[in-house]
Amino acid sequence: MVEIRFHGRGGQGTVVATILLAKAFFRDGYYVQSFPLFGVERRGAPVEAYLRFDREEILIRTNVYTPDHVVVLDKTLLDSTDVTLGLKTGGWILINGAELPAYPNSWSPYKLALVDATHIALNTGLGTRTHPIVNTPMLGGLAQVLGMPSMEAIAKAIQSEVPSKPKANIKAAKMAYEQVRVLEPVKHSKSASKRT
């Protein structure tokens, strides 16, 4: 079983991202389970959402504590949230951004990837200039680094689930799939090292 945690802000489509990804993995033959952090949602507030997928039926019905990978839709969250909390060694941290933000030494056990989902969202007309909706490009980026689910499954999930601008969303996901950058795990010198 694989568990993925998404960090975003209310209004970015974080919860929808996990639903789309669940539907894409289901199309590729997996059992899936997705759910938001069970809280009170507000625009702009930190949001978490989760996905589980497995070839076998998923029995566990608890929160996700030790994700295999994390996806960060808004890098300003890195200042206030330890996105690596419980993250398994060797897991991916996929961040929305043009440049890699400074990160602590405690990130050395993880694999880092960067995709400029905001730029892609703005260029494909997703959301507004002040509130770009970055969820579908993040899915494209994730599909590339994980090697799954297939872009075809993601495109079909978007086509059937996204009522507004499905074509632009599919285009954005495909652009991110091509543009995502995998980074060498270089240690930066930010002192605030928080290992959990």
Partner 1 sequence: MKQVVEGSHAVAEAVRLARAQVISAYPITPQTHIVERLSEYCADSTLAARFLRVESEHSALAALIGAASCGVRTFTATSSQGLALMHELLHWASAARLPIVMANVNRAMAPGWNIWADQTDSLAQRDTGWIQLYCEHSQEVLDTAIQAFRLGEWLNLPVMVNLDAFFLSHTYEVVDLPKQNVVDRFLPPYQPRFQLDTKDPCAFNQLAPPNIYMEMRHNIQTAMDDALTFFGQMENEFKNTIGRGYGPVEAIECEDAEIIMVTSGTITSTSRQVLSELRKKGEKIGLLKIKLFRPFPVKAMRELTASARKIAVIDRNFSFGASGIFAQEVRAALCNHPGHPMVFGYVAGLGGRDVTTAVIEEIYRLTKESDLPQQESIWVGLHEVEHAVGQS
Residues that bind partner 1 (CB under 8 A): 18-19, 22-23, 26, 31-36, 38, 40, 58-63, 65
Using the minimum distance from each CB to partner 1, give the nearer residue, 36 or 125.
36
Q: Minimum distance from CB of 4 to partner 1 (Å)?
A: 14
Helix (H) or strand (E) holding 53: strand 46-54
Q: At what angle do helices 151-161 and 135-146 cross, to 10 degrees?
A: 160
Q: Minimum distance from CB of 32 to partner 1 (Å)?
A: 6
Q: Minimum distance from CB of 81 to partner 1 (Å)?
A: 19
Give CA angle at 120 (115, 121), nearest 5°: 115
Q: Minimum distance from CB of 186 to partner 1 (Å)?
A: 36
Q: Minimum distance from CB of 170 to partner 1 (Å)?
A: 18
Using the minimum distance from each CB to partner 1, give the nearer residue, 38 or 79.
38
**Could you tell me if residue 24 is left (phi over 0), alpha (psi between -120 and 50 degrees) or otherwise beta?**
alpha
SS3 (DSSP) at 176: helix
Using the minimum distance from each CB to partner 1, give the nearer residue, 65 or 99.
65
Cβ atoms 121, 132 nearer than 8 A: yes
Residue 124 half-sphere exposure toward CB, CA atoms < 13 A: 25
Alpha carbon distance 158, 170 (integer Å): 7
Using the minimum distance from each CB to partner 1, give the nearer residue, 7 or 119.
7
Using the minimum distance from each CB to partner 1, give the nearer residue, 31 or 101.
31
User: What residue type is assigned to position 189 of the chain?
Assistant: S
